[in-house]
Structure 1
């Protein structure tokens, strides 16, 4: 439970859920709005695997963005659980913002998503965000906005607002925040000023390791990678001005044949994963990090309820 914080009269607050096809730019936009990396990003499918909360605090408002996994046809028990998480989140938020990447035409996947939102018993207020505008011409952005507007009529719903933006260039990002805040009711601040996420540190660390592990792998392997933090804590006996955080973690794959791929020739890939992850974790926590990585196999973990429960799904 979040703790309410004293606020001035007229203060607005609420929860907004970002939804969209996989790789629509939800996590990148979340990070851009928050101004800090709270969600990992990758071009690989199924990057986001849990609901990540990013907190934007202003003198007159607090906006909590919930970045959810992409909704897709379930091919495993994991994807079924991720879809259930998306639907549960939709029922708890004040606004649903659907992300439509400008570099992809509105298609059947978007139509399915919008119809699912429209079929909610008590749908919240709705916004549409045309993302990745830096990748296309102004003419293409204009056409995408028309496609989004046409989708409203087709799906039988109405977007309160339609906003174009680019999370990478920063174009219109502040306008997105302004629009979403304008759609909220008056309410309390749920988090102290300065807090950017309520993710546990161990979860953030695990996600940064997984983000590093996703780079340089191909085919089906991204789906098969999970991370388990085995042990984490400050090393004993270090002086206060020279702390060192020890992290022991396992990269989990689901087939024996995937283990050597994850390790790489001569351990090259796992070394690179460790280097990249250690840099990101140290930057996030402001503490030097010793990261010890190993690879282990949990057979077909995406389909095994025991393994899913163990890995936090």
Structure 2
């Protein structure tokens, strides 16, 4: 099997250091802390002070563990990918890497694959913690596979953004700050855009109200609500809502603040995952363009 040399080299270096072991320990330790606390609050505390145990809350336990793990993915991936190319540039090894037979796309894919491999390793190492809910029931093996797919898709999505900024900026600090800024915009900024549109429409509607108008329809963001399809947190929320059987809350939110179709509402997870996959390919493509050393030569030839 032909393996990308950059991926092979990064993977060998990564697994041989104590840093990887400490990341796995800290990741699963923090996840286990949240999971065991939620398990205690759901069952032990409820039976001791409430006198009964509500086994239906096991789905809430799964939602908490899944949300915490997803949050850790969002927090970890930018740190793993933002310095992948800029770090090579700071160590003055990037030029040597580019003079090899590897194409810029192969370098990008190798760096991205090595970072994503660590996240996949973390995700699979956390399976015993997530499997706590299987001791009670309510979550199927298919749900678990869907959650693993979400982790991989999100890791590639955020990782491609980190790689892009790592190629765009020469310093790792600037690339890391930009990646976290982009992540903050995707997760919170999209909600602020929807809120701003609703507020502006409400102000405009209020200005047009006359004395004879007694009923005024509550404004919404219209089709701008679809911008949330690029929000990875919204994708995770839609998956959890569908798995635990409370998907009506997602539908209520979308219909209250925007305009969507029934097909989009029922397939929000798959549509958003597909869009984020396409965006990942776009970021990877432009990253390879930024890394291409022949780009500058072509520019100078055009000037001449």
Q: Does the TM-score normalized on the shorter chain lie above 0.5? A: no
The alignment's TM-score, normalised by the length of structure 1, stands at: 0.22
TM-score by length of 2: 0.23
Select the structure that is richer in strand: 1
Richer in helix (by share): 2
Q: In terms of Rg, which structure is larger?
A: 2
Q: Which has the higher contact order (CA 8 A, sep 6+)?
A: 2
